Amino acid sequence: MTDTAGPVVTSDAPIIAADPIPTPLAPPPDILRCAYMELVVTDLAASRNFYVDVLGLVVTEEDEDTVYLRSLEEFIHHNLVLRLGEVAAVAAFSYRVRSPEELDRAVAFYTELGCRVERRAEGFTRGIGDSVRVTDPLGFPYEFFYDVDHVERLAWRYDLHTPGALVRLDHFNQVTPDVPRAVKFMEDLGFRVTEDIQDAEGTTYAAWMRRKPTVHDTAMTGGDGPRMHHVAFATHEKHNIIAICDKLGALRLSDHIERGPGRHGVSNAFYLYLRDPDGHRVEIYTQDYYTGDPDNPVVTWDVHDNQRRDWWGNPVVPSWYTEASLVLDLDGNPQPVAARTDTSEMAVTIGADGFSYTRPEDDADELPSWKQGEYKLGHQL
């Protein structure tokens, strides 16, 4: 049998927070899934063109300053809100909860943590009723709701599907300076870790966490934060992602492609990262795996494994590590961004002192020359 020297599989996430947020006595709300993101955009027509005409999301409703979009298999009012504003940012990471009563739990949970909490019986966006918005202890604007308008699920409307059809909202990805602290808080909120990236010294660079039985509803990526790294929509098949790339090329919009297409090590999913007209990052994602059993194993990757973020060993572009979107407080003001103090993944993998390997037993300088150049900043042609 070939020694594949892949990631380490354990029964529980070996992530210890040095500076934990206290666990509230109040139980957390029972969260079903990530449901929608509210994005502030600075040119609504340009964003509408990108998400509707290029990516094929469906307009549920719109007015002069807001567009409500959904994916083709969705039955709730929207998965993405584009709202015109001065500063491109994220106004809400929104989750659906299991029942209306869970909103009382959300209020109690975050109030005990000393967070700002706002509840509106009429909701914060069209199509959604009673909702709770908070600025969470990590600085992110989170929303919880149950009551929502049902709309037509377009799964069978193949006459409307394009070759790159986006069928579901899959996950969010958040940038935060202290990943173990964020993970511990999210575990208190009822999330379970499915995968993470660490080094031998115990630094955690990123972690993936789920409520629904996929690899994640959100991930915590180490970096200056709070910021939003990306929002991800699912396609059915890998070829749908290739079709999106071909379409962007045909439209002379290939500069929207930031990274990929490729296959992730983490999550095993096929991926593509795009940047929208404001620079908000959108991932197109397909074919991760089922994680719904209570003893689903946790997969831990070595930060120096050059197959962790791309299974084929393709390099990660520096912008993917460094750039992310601002997030807003409940008054609509950008949250201040705090610097990460733990070592950065980019620095330890592609910086001047960084290294990556294909096989862990190889010496650090044993990457072939054609790979070495790709991973060292300044070596690019």
Task: Report the interface residues with Fe ion, using CB under 5 A.
Answer: 173, 232, 283
Q: Give the single-character DSSP code of 98.
A: S
Give the nearest distance from C-beta 288 to Fe ion in angstroms.
9
Where are the strands (E) in the chain, listed by range? 8-10, 31-41, 58-62, 66-70, 80-84, 89-97, 117-120, 131-135, 141-145, 168-176, 192-198, 204-210, 218-222, 227-234, 257-263, 270-275, 281-286, 298-302, 325-327
Give the nearest distance from C-beta 256 to Fe ion in angstroms.
17
Where are the strands (E) in 211-310, listed by range? 218-222, 227-234, 257-263, 270-275, 281-286, 298-302
Give the nearest distance from C-beta 115 to Fe ion in angstroms.
26
- Closer residue to Fe ion (CB): 35 or 132: 35
Give the nearest distance from C-beta 216 to Fe ion in angstroms.
7
Give the nearest distance from C-beta 129 to Fe ion in angstroms.
29
Residue type, 169: L
Q: For residues 341-361, b (16+ Cβ closer than 10 Å) or e, as one string?
A: ebbbbbebbbbeebbbbeeee
Nearest to 187 by CA among 204, 210, 205, 171: 210
Pairing of strands 31-41, 89-97: antiparallel
- Closer residue to Fe ion (CB): 102 or 196: 196
Structure tokens at 172: 């969010």
- Closer residue to Fe ion (CB): 110 or 321: 321
- Closer residue to Fe ion (CB): 107 or 169: 169
* Cα dihedral 336/340/344/346 (nearest 10): 10
Nearest to 59 by CA among 233, 169, 156, 49: 49
Give the nearest distance from C-beta 319 to Fe ion in angstroms.
15
- Closer residue to Fe ion (CB): 218 or 306: 218
Give the nearest distance from C-beta 273 to Fe ion in angstroms.
8
Return d(Cα 4, Cα 359) in angstroms, integer.
9
The neighbouring-strand residues paired with 225 are 338
- Closer residue to Fe ion (CB): 135 or 240: 240
- Closer residue to Fe ion (CB): 172 or 357: 172
